[in-house]
Structure 1
Amino acid sequence: MSILSLSDWLETPQGQYLLQWEQAKFDVMVADIFGYNAVQIGLPECEFLHGNRMPYRFRCAAFGDVAVVANADALPFASTSLDLVLLPHVLEFSRNPHQVLREVERVLVPEGSVVISGFNPLSLWGLRRLLARRGGTFPWRGQYLSVRRTKDWLALLGFETQSGSFGCYAPAVTTAKWLERWRFMDKAGDRWWPYFGGTYMLQGIKRVQGMRLITPNWRDRRATAKRLSPVAQRRRQVPGGVQKTK
């Protein structure tokens, strides 16, 4: 099989192994993210927004059967118009990943979320990429970004990282038979070396400085009501039988 793109690689046993883990994680991570508009950028043959309940969910890519055809570094969406953006393995294969994140920050509403999946350079899969060097096919030719670097880039754009996870601890073997034999490493990896999975997923929330939620000022209302409420006067007896108020 000739592997000319990441989509072609996802049809291999290696790709199916990764896709199975990422689909399950995307379903969990997007399930409780609410809003109106959600977009998945890249990998149009995958439906990673399946677990989300927003009324308008669509896919965007440079080609394929998608609702919007566009490049990830020049999104044709209005500023602050989207509540959720998914980036499945977009950054490591982009010529300008910084610009991709800047575009995501622009189109997200305040408190909107971005969910990123990427290949982990600090893993057996990252080692496989080093061995392949530039002459490798997909997915080894990508520029893998560590979780730490991705978090730093998000922080510079005002994002707060909320959650993340690692998966696919098996070596980058090519056959389904050998992948199945190494499956035990997935359970062991989560326990003993959780930061060295072949892939990771990370969620960031766009924070806007100076913005705060406006809620009813119940404390001031209670204080005003207390000042206006009638207070029972206390009376005390004084010599001579005259009552004096206090």
Structure 2
Amino acid sequence: MYFSYVKLGQEVSLLNNRWAIVTGADRGVGLSLVKALLEQDYHVLAGQYLQESNEALEQLKASYEEQLQVLNLDISDGDSVQQAVESIAACTDRVDILINNGAILGDMSKTIQDTLDFEEMEQVFRVNTLGSLRMSNGLIESILRSDSKLIVNISSEAASIGTCWRNSWYAYCMSKAALNMQSQLIQNQIAAQGGKVMVIHPGHVQTYMQGKLDTTGSLTADESAGSILRQIANRLKPDYGQQELTLIDFAGNTLPW
């Protein structure tokens, strides 16, 4: 279902504004990115995965009635993504920033000497890797019509082969490493058209990815989102120049692929 908070007759006038899309916007970094983008006067389409009522998003709707639209969006499902793409096209023909934030962890404990749950791994790949690809593929022409032409893939230090220390986390690490490769493939295609891709590790964040709030994180979701948007602002500077795609962290440090 698509919830529009744009009044009739306003759709055309809003096409000249900046539009951002955030997946996994229910809570955590995704929700904080939505809040921060709204504060920066973006019109935001927020992908909501969880079906239950979301008080935080409802409060944002009340405060940003004309700027925020919410999409019921399961990025692991092709039909859901197609419906979202069609709903987005009904609002705007250009997307300045797509932030592929939606992700799940999967099992974090089993090693190669344990019985691995391959069905669960496949679901993690459907979300973390193919989910972002579905979104980028469905929206690429709208992205390339915008001024910013930017795709931001939220990756992880867990995707870095060069610094790998884990002996488990198979689904998450491998799916995020595949996301990094996906990002380079997209960059190779769209760079000549002015398109840009960023791959960002958000830091160790206090989020709900393990089903409950991880209070061991060194960053709050708001702190991580604020840092990510600072990196985005830096990437969009006219004098940024042509630089190779790298995996960076929330502070802009380059991490090994």
Q: What's the TM-score, normalizing by structure 2?
A: 0.36
Q: Which has the higher helix share?
A: 2
Q: Which has the higher strand share?
A: 1
- Quick check: which has more Rg, 1 or 2? 1
Q: What's the TM-score, normalizing by structure 1?
A: 0.37
